[in-house]
Amino acid sequence: MEARNGEDLLRSLCSAPGRKTCLFLLLFLGVWYCQALEMSTGKIPYLEAVNGSTVLLPCTYLSCIGIKNLYFSWSYNDNGTMQKVCDSVIPSEDVEPNLKIYKERVEFVGSSKTQNISILLWNITFEDAGEYTCYGKNPKEKGRNHSAIFTLVVVDELRVVDNTLTIIIASCVGGFIALLMTFMLLKNLTLFVLAKLEEKNKECLVTSSGIDNTENGLSGSKATPKPTPKKA
């Protein structure tokens, strides 16, 4: 019912007398939607890494209206308690932040020039495993908050992927293709041989027909001339 009333209101505003109001409303809604800050930890927001290695926790931000005093932070979910890893403020575009780090073995590797606020974790341990939240707040959006989560899994060693089934499937497919190609080759060879035999049979029939015509004295054959009788 509310949606229906909204549609009726928008239709009335977009009528001839209220066309300017409608255009202003649509422009306002478009600008409001464009203001949304987006935080992203990538298409694959998780990583499985070996204990003792160094990993990258990626995060980027994007705002179509630009930023001003953009506040961002990284936090770690420690059994339901959010522990701050690092935070800073980016005054404006192309101005690098002065990062504050609250956790050991953390290094900031991002840059405001590329809208990147990624961090490195050095010599990770099993205690470092869990969810990391990349948070951002742009004052230009009047206090709207945005965040993205990246999950880190720490293992003793990376799992070896068993490719036996893949190899079997690939071998079967390859064998089927080879068999199909062999069948097509034999088929073409057989058709070629049959065509040659048929052509040879036609030649034999033509030759045999010519010989029969000659023996029967038919047109086109050479008859033996009769001797001229001698005068008495």
* Mean pLDDT, 10 residues at a time, the chain of 232 residues: 45 53 45 68 94 96 90 94 96 92 95 95 96 94 88 85 72 83 84 81 68 55 56 54
Q: Per this entry, what is the length of the chain?
A: 232
Query: In sequence order, what are the beta bridge partners of 71?
Result: 89, 137
- At 169, the amino acid letter reads I
pLDDT tens digits for range 97-156: 999 999 999 999 999 999 999 999 999 999 999 999 999 999 988 878 899 999 999 999
Name the CATH superfamily for 34-155: Immunoglobulins (2.60.40.10)
- Distance, in Å, from the CA atom of 105 to the CA atom of 216, rounded to the nearest integer, reads 112
Is 129:153 a contact under the CB 8 Å cutoff? yes
How much is the pLDDT for 90? 95
